[in-house]
Amino acid sequence: MKPRFRIGLALSNHEGENARSWSDIENFYAGLAAANDSFKPLADLAQALASSDFTKAGLCGATSMHDLCLGPGKMVFQNPHLRIVYEFDLGTFTLIHVDGSAKPWERQASPEHVFAMVSRFLTKRARWYEDRERRSDG
């Protein structure tokens, strides 16, 4: 079996911020979906993230071709980040934690479950954000 090779699974050494505004990201995927229905799951995810508590807490995003990349700071590609790849032929998402490791954490999710999986990654796996379910009020 031939090993899978994916572009963009290494941390970048380019300097400077590369995050885009969430309105730009949302509009980018909405435009793609308007031209081709195949992009609707990506547009739906971008819209859900753009209006989420994560973005209000500082989650940054960037795009790489059709992939959506998430990180806790504006230098998304230079630091560990979550790359979200939509597998058009399968109709599923692949989430990859790009952290410089030889075998990064990777999971698949359906369009119906991708936001929940991203949320679990951000709160439980990467722990970039607080899990609201575990937060106490006192």
In a domain, residue 79? The reply is: yes
Tens of pLDDT, residue by residue over 18-42, are 899 999 999 999 999 999 999 999 9
- Are 42 and 34 spatial neighbours (Cβ–Cβ below 8 Å)? no
Looking at residue 17, its pLDDT comes to 81
Within 10 angstroms of residue 56's Cβ, the number of other Cβ atoms is: 9
Would you say residue 16 has pLDDT above 80?
no
Q: Do the domain assignments include residue 121?
A: yes
Whether 134 is covered by a domain: the verdict is no
Cβ pair 18, 77 in contact under 8 A = yes
Altogether, the residues listed in the chain come to a count of: 138
Write down the pLDDT at residue 128. 93
Of the candidates 36, 127, 30, 43, the residue with the CA atom closest to the CA atom of residue 80: 127
Please indicate, yes or no, if residue 14 is contained in any of the structural domains. no
Is 117 a member of any domain?
yes
Give the 3-state secondary structure of residue 83.
Answer: strand
Distance, C-alpha 99 to centroid of its chain:
13
Local confidence band at 137 (pLDDT 50, 70, 90 cut-offs): very low
Residue 66 lies inside a defined structural domain of this protein: yes
Q: Give the count of domains, the chain.
A: 1
For residue 48, being part of any structural domain is answered with: yes
Q: pLDDT tens digits, residue range 40-86? A: 999 999 999 999 999 999 999 999 999 999 999 999 999 999 999 99
Query: Residue 9's pLDDT is what?
Result: 60
Is 14's pLDDT higher than 90? no
Domain contains 82: yes
DSSP string, 91-112: TEEEEEEESS-SS--EEEE-TT
pLDDT, tens only, 94-111:
999 999 888 999 999 999
